Each structure stands twice: as C-alpha cells, then as structure tokens.
Amino acid sequence: MQWGAGQLSFEDLAGPRTLEELRREIEGCARCSLAEGRTHIVFGEGNPHARLMLVGEGPGAEEDRLGRPFVGAAGQLLDKILAAAGITREEVYIANIVKCRPPGNRVPLRAEAEACLPWLRLQIRLINPRFIVVLGSTALQYLCDPQARITFFRGRWLEKGGIRIMPTYHPAALLRDPSKKRDVWEDFKKVRDAYRELVKR
C-alpha cells in the first residue's frame, strides 16, 4: 500500500525503527522550499503506540513557533472535541501532511506535500494505528484520493491497508464556520464508538 502520491520512496532504505530515529532523520530536512521559512519542524506528537492518529494539513504560526502540532486556536478546539469524546490528547498521535509552516498558512503546494509525505508514511508505519482521522481536504486528498471532496466524504468510514479512516472538517474550518461543528461532532462520535469498542477488547 502506498500512502498518498509522494515522489520519494523510502521503500528501499533500511528506515528508522523508532519515532525518535525518524525524528533525528528529519532534523534539518530541506526536501522542499518550506524549510526556508520555518522556525521549527513540527514532527508530530503523542502516544508512539496510538491506536488513533489524527492528521491535519500543516503547522500554523503558533505550531511553527513552538514546534508542536495543533497548539493554536484550531488545536485548542481540537482538544475540546477530543475531550468531549472522552479521548485524551496523550493517547492519540497528531501529525500533519507537511511538517513545516507554509507561508501565511496557505495550503501546501503539491510539490511540498509530496516531498513531505514519505516522512508521514514512515510515521504511520511506525505508529501502526488502527484509526486515522483526516482533518480537512488536504489530508484527505493526500492520504486517500487526490480527487476526494471533504464535503462528500466526511463522516464516511474509509479503509486503507487495514486502517479505518474517518474524514472530517479541519478545526480551522470550524473557527471560520461554526455551523460545521455539528457535522464534526457526529463524525467524532463514530470515531469514539469504534475506538472504545477497540480499546475495551
């Protein structure tokens, strides 16, 4: 299974065996032009053995400043959604399609996303989650299908390589349009129920 359409493949490399090894490998990455404007690489964080992973688009200003994913306003909203679903941030793993901030928070260019995707694919392989929540259309299109529309696929379980995938809106979209909160909550209830079923086994 190939995750997304990355130009680079690490299939033939020995590859890191732990997230820490991967983090060290990514240090100083200059595979795309986003390296020029970043303060920090936002590697991702959370439980290295998480059964639930969340993947967003890319770091914003606060994430770039702190080197942590989803710590700005959208991240705080995501924390609230997770808490409402009875899921702690510590038990999940959170990452993005690109690990360096696109200028002005623009959508990552295809070349940037494709340069960074092999890192994310390795990360997913090492964490080996059972569920991934893809947050927003960028994550949906690069992880699942370049033509997929988030408005159509949100709330529908997808499956790839044995991982169940739930697309939903990015929390930043909820900040712009609070009417989407109801849909996101419906999507997270499905995730919560499936996740609870898994962890109680």
The sign of the CA dihedral 30, 35, 41, 42 is: negative
Cα distances (Å, whole numbers) of residue 158 to 69, 130, 136, 163, 181: 24, 12, 14, 8, 21
Measured from the CB atom, is 30 or 73 closer to ligand SF4? 30
Measured from the CB atom, is 57 or 187 closer to ligand SF4? 57
Measured from the CB atom, is 112 or 187 closer to ligand SF4? 112
Measured from the CB atom, is 101 or 154 closer to ligand SF4? 101
Write down the least CB distance from residue 149 to ligand SF4, Å.
Answer: 24
Q: CA–CA separation, 76 vs 174, rounded Å?
A: 12
Beta strands in 50-178 (DSSP E): 52-56, 93-96, 131-135, 158-160, 163-168
6, 19, 22, 31: residue in contact with ligand SF4 (rule CB under 6 A): 31
Residue 127 phi/psi, 5-degree rounding, is -75, -40
Q: How big is the chain, counted in residues? A: 201
| Contact call for residue 164 and ligand SF4 (CB under 6 A) | no
Contact partners, residue 6, CB within 8 Å, separation at least 6? 114, 115, 116, 117, 118, 121
| Contact call for residue 122 and ligand SF4 (CB under 6 A) | no
- Applying the rule CB under 6 A, the residues between 87 and 116 that interact with ligand SF4 are 98-100, 112, 115-116
Q: CA–CA separation, 79 vs 10, rounded Å?
A: 33
22, 41, 166, 172: residue in contact with ligand SF4 (rule CB under 6 A): 41
Write down the least CB distance from residue 4 to ligand SF4, Å.
Answer: 13
Write down the least CB distance from residue 33 to ligand SF4, Å.
Answer: 7
Contact footprint for ligand SF4 (CB under 6 A): 26, 29-32, 34-35, 41, 98-100, 112, 115-116, 119
